[in-house]
Amino acid sequence: MPIKILPARLANQIAAGEVVERPASVVKELIENSLDAGATRIEIDIEKGGAKCIRIKDNGKGVSKDQLTLALSRHATSKISHLDDLEAIVSLGFRGEALASISSVSRLTFTSKPSDQDQAWQAVAEGRDMQVNIQPAAHPQGTTVEVLDLFFNTPARRRFLKTEKTEFQHIDELIRRIALSSFEIGFVLKHNGKIIRQYRAAQTPAQIDKRLAAICSESFVKSALSFKSEESDGEASPLKISGWISDRLSPRLLGDVQYCYINGRMIRDKLVNHAIKQAYARLLPEGQFPGYVIYINCPADQVDVNVHPSKHEVRFHQARWVHDYIVSTLATTLSSDDAYVSHQRTE
Ligand code: ADP
Ligand code: MG
């Protein structure tokens, strides 16, 4: 076969393979866009586990009519423009691929109205070249992205979808994770027309505890030790960590509360896991894990988030420093806990 350039849709479908694994991955990308757009309220409407419909509505800054075509195009983003920007990413998105990828494997409409535009417009990418068509629509300030019939044109992927219930559980878990990273934002999650979760914007400590309890359980909030700490390596680059950890008394119950965020991004990180385990050292019996919610904040240029398309992994430039700082902060928190101290004494 001669070498040829692939049609846009096919190229986007190939790219979608990396990030659009299941309905929950679509929800993740779309909510990250809403958060990057400064939304304070996000509604997530799911039908049939997301296989039939995923609709995300936000009140963020929106996209103007003349930018809609770009928003749906691959390698088009408003979030970075130079290589330097990639070294210090402050937004959740930056790859400029999510909308193009998702719309290549579903029927996606993007409806938006920025505050300085009278009229809302709706964009759809059609055909093998993903030509973007735009028409007037009704919408308040913000954006709604509707994704129908996910994987309808990629049967191999569609076959891998699990039951409606399982796919929705993935979405539900995702919303919990996101709601724990953005307390100041209100979320409503519906499934088949029914409200399943509603997290009101939380600002005061009482409101924050309420959301924490709704997500991590009442007993986690009661027993968890909170911590907040800041360290500078001498230069003006402070590392901040805060959050909650379960004390050693109820680890079995709380082992499934394990949430870690770096600069607002949910991640799974070996380094962080290792640090947490080390902080608990002999405290937990083999095979048990502590419950934790940990927020790490560091200057954006100290962490590389462009490790994998799914953006679940990061690399710290000063990994050892971060690791040791987590260990010492958690160990200090645990040792100031009475239960921990009496446990140490009786050992
Ligand atoms: P990325 O988030 O990596 O930039 P996306 O394909 O997810 O790439 O989105 C492309 C662009 O569309 C974004 O850079 C942003 O400018 C715009 N956009 C997407 N979703 C929204 C939204 N909900 N509100 C405002 N702008 C949006
Ligand atoms: Mg994005």
User: Domains plus CATH for the chain?
Assistant: 8-199 (3.30.565.10), 217-346 (3.30.230.10)
- Distance CA(53)–CA(63), nearest Å, equals 22
Would you say residue 236 has pLDDT above 70? no
Three-state DSSP class for residue 18: helix
Ligand 1 neighbourhood includes 19 CB (under 6 angstroms): no
Report yes or no: 223 and 254 within 8 Å, Cβ to Cβ: yes
Ligand 1 neighbourhood includes 42 CB (under 6 angstroms): no
Of all ligands present, the nearest one to the C-alpha of 71 is 1
**Which of 132-136, 248-252, 257-261, 262-266 is predicted least confidently?**
248-252
Confidence of residue 289 (pLDDT cuts 50, 70, 90): confident
Confidence of residue 265 (pLDDT cuts 50, 70, 90): very high
The best mutation among 97, 99, 145, 146 to test binding of ligand 1, ranked by most ligand atoms within 8 Å of the C-beta, falls on 99
Confidence of residue 253 (pLDDT cuts 50, 70, 90): low
- Which atom of ligand 1 approaches the CA of 58 most closely? 23
- Distance CA(324)–CA(192), nearest Å, equals 46
**Which of 84-88, 99-103, 186-190 is predicted least confidently?**
84-88
Report yes or no: 73 and 216 within 8 Å, Cβ to Cβ: no
Ligand 1 neighbourhood includes 37 CB (under 6 angstroms): yes
Sheet of 41-47: strands edge to edge?
131-137, 120-126, 107-113, 142-148, 53-58, 41-47, 186-191, 194-199
- Which atom of ligand 1 approaches the CA of 94 most closely? 3
Cα atoms in the 13 Å half-sphere on the side-chain side of 113: 15
Neighbouring CB atoms inside 10 A of 131's CB total 11
Ligand 1 neighbourhood includes 96 CB (under 6 angstroms): yes
Q: Which residues of 300-315 are buried (b: 16+ CB within 10 A; e: fewer)?
A: eebbbbeeeeebeebe
Distance of CA 288 to the CA centre of its chain: 26
- Which atom of ligand 1 approaches the CA of 80 most closely? 4
**Per-residue pLDDT at 71:** 97
Confidence of residue 18 (pLDDT cuts 50, 70, 90): confident
Q: Which of 311, 319, 80, 281 lies closest to 296 in space, CA to CA?
A: 319
Ligand 1 neighbourhood includes 143 CB (under 6 angstroms): yes
**Per-residue pLDDT at 288:** 74
The stretch 277-306 carries a mean pLDDT of: 86
**Per-residue pLDDT at 259:** 93
C-alpha of residue 165 to centroid of ligand 2, in Å: 26
- Distance CA(333)–CA(55), nearest Å, equals 42
- Which atom of ligand 1 approaches the CA of 95 most closely? 3
Neighbouring CB atoms inside 10 A of 121's CB total 20
C-alpha of residue 144 to centroid of ligand 1, in Å: 12
The best mutation among 27, 32, 35, 36 to test binding of ligand 1, ranked by most ligand atoms within 8 Å of the C-beta, falls on 36
**Per-residue pLDDT at 345:** 47
Would you say residue 80 has pLDDT above 90? yes
Would you say residue 208 has pLDDT above 90? yes
The stretch 121-145 carries a mean pLDDT of: 97
Of all ligands present, the nearest one to the C-alpha of 43 is 1
- Distance CA(63)–CA(142), nearest Å, equals 8
Would you say residue 165 has pLDDT above 80? yes
What is the largest distance, in Å, between two alpha-carbon atoms of the chain? Answer: 75
- Which atom of ligand 1 approaches the CA of 56 most closely? 23
The amino acid occupying position 103 is S
**Per-residue pLDDT at 248:** 63
Report yes or no: 330 and 276 within 8 Å, Cβ to Cβ: yes
CB proximity list for 319: less than 8 A, separation 6 or greater: 271
Average pLDDT, the chain: 91
Ligand 1 neighbourhood includes 34 CB (under 6 angstroms): yes
C-alpha of residue 47 to centroid of ligand 1, in Å: 23
Would you say residue 344 has pLDDT above 50? no
